């Protein structure tokens, strides 16, 4: 086997030290009950130097999560995704491996059908240091009957996840600048759920530049899931790099949490050099608080942690 370069070995040792001692998988396929995952991991300022599996505070929300999130929606639609299509056994293996490495932020959505899978994968794990992010699909489709609000959806999400709280709840896939008016009832009901402690932070995922610009300034928004990489429209962004970067910087200046997605261009940036260049660009420019990547194997998890950590300490 080819020996790792010293800097990569150092990164892997650093991430390994952040694992909670004794958080081994139980023989029956569940996680050690009551284990306090990552309780010794230091909190760090978002955008600071560190590793992918460091814990960061997500802006003014006070939520502490790993800088890298496990995405669960690659090619997701109709409550199915490439992740759920792995099957329960492989999905469990993927999520548990990431958790052992320090990935505590779970990026889900009703669209992906991933709630039940995450619930099973994390059965027996302490909820204290795991952060659940999910998204409401606001439109009625062949697979979904939208309530028009958020209460019914969030109540169902909590049942599906077996949790009292959805840490971050977003309105999914905003495609125009009128989304605040179109989804006023969802916003109002999310506010009510937030006041009751059923949701901790709210916001939107954006798939349109106009929607992103509105979200960057709108007082209701705590969190924006935004498409960002170093290429632009050709790699699944809402606009050119030159257009998107100032909006993300202004959003962060406005106190919004930015969670970056499509860092690897929805599968368009595949070579090691392309991945490294995108990660370096995103973190050098302090464009995000954290990122979500739809890793589909334990090997992808390890590779992403190594590349992201290298970009952070460069």
Q: List, for residues 210-226, the tens digit of each pLDDT value.
A: 999 999 999 999 999 99
The pLDDT of residue 27:
33
In a domain, 1, yes or no: no
Residue 57 predicted with pLDDT over 50: yes
Instruction: Please tell me the distance from the alpha carbon of residue 288 to that of residue 280, in angstroms, as a whole number.
Output: 12
78 is a domain residue:
yes
Flag whether 110 is in a domain: yes
Q: What confidence tens digit (pLDDT) does each residue in 96-122 have?
A: 999 999 999 999 999 999 999 999 999
- pTM for the predicted model, two decimal places: 0.87
pLDDT score of 9: 45
Residue 236 reports pLDDT greater than 60: yes
For 161-197, what is each residue's pLDDT tens digit? 999 999 999 999 999 999 999 999 999 999 999 999 9
Give the pLDDT band (50/70/90) at residue 314: confident
CATH code, 119? 3.20.20.100
- State which residues form the domain around 19: 6-313
- Phi, psi at residue 130, to the nearest 5°? -105, 135
Domain count, the chain: 1
- Residue 11, domain member (yes or no): yes
- Asked if the model's pLDDT at residue 23 lies above 90, the reply is no
| Residue 225 domain-assigned (yes or no) | yes
Q: What is the 3-state secondary structure (H, E, C) of 142-183?
A: CCECCCCCCHHHHHHHHHHHCCCCEEEEEEEEECCCCHHHHC
Domain contains 30: yes
């Amino acid at each position: 086997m080819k020996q790792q370069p010293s800097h990569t070995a150092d990164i892997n040792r650093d991430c390994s030290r952040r694992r909670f001692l004794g958080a081994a998988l139980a023989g029956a396929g569940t996680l050690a009950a009551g284990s306090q995952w990552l309780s010794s991991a230091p909190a760090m300022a978002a955008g600071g130097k560190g590793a992918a599996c460091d814990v960061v505070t997500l802006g003014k929300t006070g939520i502490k999560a790993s800088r890298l999130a496990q995405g669960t929606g690659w090619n997701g639609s109709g409550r199915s995704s490439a992740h759920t299509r792995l099957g329960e056994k492989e999905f469990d293996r993927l999520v548990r491996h990431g958790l052992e490495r320090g990935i505590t932020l779970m990026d889900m959505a009703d669209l992906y059908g991933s709630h039940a899978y995450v619930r099973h994968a994390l059965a027996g794990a302490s909820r204290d240091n795991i952060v659940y992010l999910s998204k409401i699909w606001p439109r009625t489709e062949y697979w979904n009957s939208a309530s028009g609000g958020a209460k019914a959806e969030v109540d169902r999400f909590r049942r599906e996840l077996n949790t009292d709280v959805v840490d971050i709840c977003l309105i999914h896939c905003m495609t125009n600048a009128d989304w605040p008016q179109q989804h006023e009832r969802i916003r109002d009901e999310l506010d009510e759920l937030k006041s009751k402690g059923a949701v901790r932070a709210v916001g939107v995922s954006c798939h349109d530049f106009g929607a992103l610009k509105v979200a960057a300034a709108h007082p209701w928004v705590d969190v924006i899931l935004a498409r960002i990489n170093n290429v632009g429209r050709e790699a699944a962004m809402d606009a050119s790099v030159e257009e998107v970067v100032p909006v993300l910087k202004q959003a962060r200046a406005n106190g919004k949490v930015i969670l970056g997605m499509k860092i690897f261009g929805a599968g368009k940036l595949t070579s090691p050099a392309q991945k490294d260049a995108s990660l370096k660009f995103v973190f050098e420019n302090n464009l995000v608080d954290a990122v979500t990547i739809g890793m589909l194997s334990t090997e992808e998890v390890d590779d992403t942690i190594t590349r992201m950590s290298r970009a952070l300490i460069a």
